């Protein structure tokens, strides 16, 4: 098949990890007889530097004429002045909103080979395999706010509408049907009105999915259960900010934040794919970045936007093979020991492919 992919390298380690994922996608194309065209565009701090905007119109146009977006990461100390009028992160929030990418899928697996990199007992990590479905275009990230405040106060508002909760709940229930049939809905219904709306909407949507076992988990308890009984989770559905926080927490189970991919989807096949980690400016340009999260995001791109399941699985198996062969980027290497550089790690994956 022919496909066009917009690549947004972004800032910090973004360019290092997206270039590796593009290599993997190119290899997939030649191995399976596809034609992928890659169009690079600006978003984030680099876009602010060159155009004054975190998400230039040209980037939107490039993305609109493509099948999917592959993104690295945005942000860095250079642009983090609290009084700045425009920030790199604005670009990310705007592009999610522009394409109405309301469902952010974040699969979390514990890799037995990396068990010693987690602070948890190995027995707790057995069979850890969960999928976060994070609501991505609503909630406190997009609610009414007073940006600079009056000097002594500022606010952000958690606001959800029934249709916003319904559509992400449908995605989560359907995902659970295709997995182990369990859904945990995360909220704070004991305190927040918006979260009571969230819960009653999820309960109503559940009527269409009686084959799925639903539990409601308060976000604070969920944070604890992710560490005490991680294997009990199958699919979790969470409001935007709770999903942001809990998925970083859950990355501990995988051994490193650098391991985790994500897919941001709307109601069509088009999607945005990015690792869940940030731009890690402290290690940028040193060959220390772990490209796994971005390469696994490319696998999700193959699966969800291009419908290439076999190819997606081939990439996922190649990542597992690279880990099994002992290749370790800096974040997952034995402390003080030697590590595989970003590009060497990708070469191992390409070899396995
Ligand atoms: C994420 C990131 C973003 C978010 C930031 C960079 C705006 O933390 O994708 O998890 O909060 O959504
Ligand atoms: Mg985050």
Q: Which residues of the chain have pLDDT under 70?
A: 148-150
Residue 24: the pLDDT is: 98
Among the bound ligands, the one closest to the CA of 139: 1
Say which residue the tokens 């009686």 belong to: 210
Query: Does 241 share its domain with 335?
Result: no
Residue 113 lies in a domain: no
**Active-site position among 188, 234, 304, 331:** 188
Answer yes or no: do 178 and 202 share one domain: yes
Question: Is 272 within the bounds of a domain?
Answer: yes
Compute the 3-state secondary structure of the chain and give helix, strand, coil in percent, each to the nearest 5. 50, 20, 35
Q: 141, 160, 209, 273: which is the annotated catalytic residue?
A: 141
Distance 130 CA to ligand 1 centre (A): 19
Judge whether 97 lies within some domain: yes
- Residues 263, 201 within the same domain: no
Q: Do residues 225 and 205 both lie within one domain?
A: yes
Instruction: Please state whether the predicted TM-score (pTM) of the whole model is above 0.85.
Output: yes
161 token code pair = 């509408």
Query: Is residue 191 a part of any domain in this protein?
Result: yes
Of 254, 278, 294, the position where a domain reaches its end is 254
SS3 (DSSP) at 67: coil
Any idea which ligand is nearest the CA of 93?
Answer: 1
Look at residues 254, 281, 315 and tell me which one is the last residue of a structural domain. Answer: 254
167/224 same-domain check: yes
Please give the pLDDT value at position 161.
Answer: 98
Handedness of CA 260, 266, 270, 272 (dihedral sign): negative
Q: State the pLDDT at residue 113.
A: 85
Regarding whether 278 and 167 lie in a shared domain, the answer is: no
Clarify whether 49 is annotated catalytic: no
Which of 219, 234, 254 marks a domain boundary? Answer: 254
Query: Are 129 and 236 members of one domain?
Result: yes
> For the stretch 281-312, what's the b/e string if a residue is b when 16 or more beta carbons lie within 10 angstroms of its beta carbon?
bebbeeebbbbbbbbbbbbbbbbbbbebeebb
User: How many distinct structural domains can be found in the chain?
Assistant: 2
Q: How far is the CA of 317 from the centre of ligand 1 (A)?
A: 27
- Could you tell me if 61 and 132 lie in one domain? no
Confirm whether 107 is domain-assigned. no
Separation of CA 351 and ligand 2 centre (Å): 31
* Ligand 1 pocket, residues with Cβ under 6 angstroms: 75, 89, 92, 244, 276, 278
Write down the catalytic residue from 244, 288, 304, 331. 244
For residues 233 and 296, state if they share a domain. Answer: no
321 token code pair: 């093979």
Could you tell me the residue range of the domain that residue 85 belongs to? Answer: 1-102+256-353
Is residue 133, in this structure, part of any structural domain at all?
Answer: yes
CA distance 129 to 81: 38
Instruction: Based on the fold, state whether residues 188 and 200 are members of the same structural domain.
Output: yes
Both tokens assigned to 268 = 């069509």
CATH number at residue 138: 3.40.718.10
Q: Does a structural domain hold residue 278?
A: yes
Residues 124 and 247 in one domain: yes
Q: Name the residue with the closest Cα to ligand 1, atom 4.
A: 244
pLDDT of residue 234: 98
Q: Say whether both 275 and 169 belong to one domain.
A: no
Does 289 map to a domain?
A: yes
């Amino acid at each position: 098949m022919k496909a066009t992919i917009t690549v947004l390298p972004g800032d910090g380690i973004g360019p290092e990890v997206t270039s590796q994922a593009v290599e993997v996608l190119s290899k997939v194309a030649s191995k399976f007889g596809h034609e992928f065209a890659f169009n690079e565009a600006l978003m984030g701090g680099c876009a602010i530097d060159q155009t004054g905007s975190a998400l230039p119109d040209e980037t939107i146009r490039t993305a609109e004429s493509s099948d999917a977006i592959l993104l690295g990461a945005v942000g860095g100390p250079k642009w983090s002045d609290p009084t700045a009028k425009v920030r790199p992160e604005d670009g990310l929030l705007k592009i999610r909103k522009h394409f109405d990418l309301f469902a952010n899928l974040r699969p979390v697996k514990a890799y037995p080979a990396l068990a010693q990199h987690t602070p948890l007992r190995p027995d707790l990590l057995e069979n850890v395999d969960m999928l976060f479905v994070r609501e991505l275009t609503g909630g406190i990230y997009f609610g009414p706010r007073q940006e600079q405040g009056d000097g002594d106060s500022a606010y952000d508002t958690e606001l959800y509408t029934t249709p916003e909760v319904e559509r992400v709940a449908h995605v989560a229930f359907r995902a659970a049907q295709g997995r182990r049939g369990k859904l945990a809905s995360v909220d704070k219904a004991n305190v927040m009105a918006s979260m009571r709306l969230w819960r009653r909407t999820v309960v109503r949507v559940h009527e269409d999915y009686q084959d799925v076992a639903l539990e409601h988990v308060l976000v604070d308890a969920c944070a604890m259960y992710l560490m005490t009984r991680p294997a009990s989770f199958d699919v979790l559905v969470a409001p935007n900010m709770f999903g942001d926080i809990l998925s970083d927490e859950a990355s501990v189970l995988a051994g490193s934040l650098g391991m985790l991919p994500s897919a941001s989807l709307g109601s069509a096949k088009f999607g945005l794919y990015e690792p869940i980690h940030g731009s890690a400016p402290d290690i940028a340009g040193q060959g220390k970045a772990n490209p796994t999260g971005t390469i696994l995001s490319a696998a999700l791109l193959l699966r969800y936007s291009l419908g290439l399941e076999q190819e997606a699985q081939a990439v996922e198996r190649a990542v597992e093979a690279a880990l099994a062969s002992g290749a370790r980027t800096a974040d997952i290497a034995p402390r003080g020991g030697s590590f595989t550089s970003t590009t060497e790690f990708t070469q191992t994956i390409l070899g396995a492919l």
